[in-house]
């Protein structure tokens, strides 16, 4: 999905609308297929949190008012529409509608989303740390310094998007049948967790009492769907 700033061009506006139309078509096709699997009655109750998805792109709200003026009748946000899933139902509806088997399938998919999000978060933060050590510190001109900090901001933005994906999947999983032990391992990711430990970013520094790695760096690797065979992931985790 595209992010639009206040000075977005007509081409960017058109591209965003085109992507949203394609997404709307995909959602419509999904809803038609899922209606054969999940049979809902007129009494179905939806979760009060499922009417609007969490903002997966923090910059989406920066779109200008002019954008709305340009497209007053065509404005729609399908990425925020509720789709039919067991996690979108209110408490007790899964059992009432006998959707336990479907709910278990969604739970496994949500676990995969969490694994991918955490892996992406670790990689983005690791890349950010490497960029700081290899590029920012070694920059020898204003241009290279600016380029290095642009990369830092890019990796930080990627990390925050992965955190948003994690929060969204975790919120859905909490409404699905899942072992309590697994949910207990999924903790909040705070702003402090988004900062890299000095043991990683500082040379010749290890074990400072004020430096602790966030929980997702020290977690049971069974949570991760991928191994650490990736060269880039090995390079990042070697610092920890």
pLDDT digits (tens, 9 = 90+) for 129-166: 888 888 888 878 888 888 888 988 999 999 999 999 99
Side-chain-facing half-sphere of 176: CA atoms under 13 Å? 24
- Alpha-carbon distances of 104 from 109, 119, 141, 230, rounded to whole Å: 9, 23, 55, 30
pLDDT at 220: 58
pLDDT at 133: 84
pLDDT at 184: 93
Task: Name residues of the chain where pLDDT drops below 50.
Answer: 1-2, 51-68, 70-74, 224-233, 235-240
pLDDT at 10: 83
pLDDT at 103: 95
Side-chain-facing half-sphere of 211: CA atoms under 13 Å? 12
Name the CA dihedral angle for 157, 224, 218, 107, rounded to a multiple of 10 degrees.
90
Are 164 and 54 spatial neighbours (Cβ–Cβ below 8 Å)? yes
pLDDT at 211: 56
- State the Cα angle at 130 between 125 and 132, rounded to 5°: 95
CA 100 to CA 200: how far, in whole Å? Answer: 44
pLDDT at 114: 96
pLDDT at 42: 87
pLDDT at 30: 93
């Amino acid at each position: 999905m595209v992010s639009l700033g206040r000075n977005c061009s007509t081409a960017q506006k058109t591209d965003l609308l085109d992507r949203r139309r394609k997404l709307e078509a995909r959602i419509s096709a999904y809803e038609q297929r899922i209606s054969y699997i999940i049979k809902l009655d007129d009494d179905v109750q939806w979760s009060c949190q499922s009417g609007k998805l969490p903002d997966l792109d923090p910059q989406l709200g920066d779109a200008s008012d002019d954008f709305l003026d340009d497209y007053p009748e065509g404005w729609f946000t399908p990425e925020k529409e509720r789709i039919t899933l067991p996690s979108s139902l209110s408490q007790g509806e899964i059992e009432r509608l006998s959707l336990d088997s479907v709910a278990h399938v969604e739970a496994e998919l949500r676990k995969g989303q969490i694994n991918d999000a955490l892996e992406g978060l670790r990689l983005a933060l690791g890349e950010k740390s490497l960029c700081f050590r290899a590029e920012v510190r070694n920059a020898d001109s204003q241009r290279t310094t600016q380029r290095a900090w642009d990369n830092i901001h890019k990796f930080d933005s990627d990390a925050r998007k992965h955190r948003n994906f994690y929060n969204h999947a975790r919120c859905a999983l909490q409404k699905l049948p899942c072992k309590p032990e697994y949910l207990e391992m999924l903790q909040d990711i705070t702003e402090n967790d988004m900062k890299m430990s000095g043991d990683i970013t500082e040379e010749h520094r290890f074990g400072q009492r004020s430096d602790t790695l966030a929980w997702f760096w020290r977690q049971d690797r069974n949570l991760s769907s991928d191994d650490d065979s990736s060269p880039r992931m090995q390079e990042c985790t070697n610092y920890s």
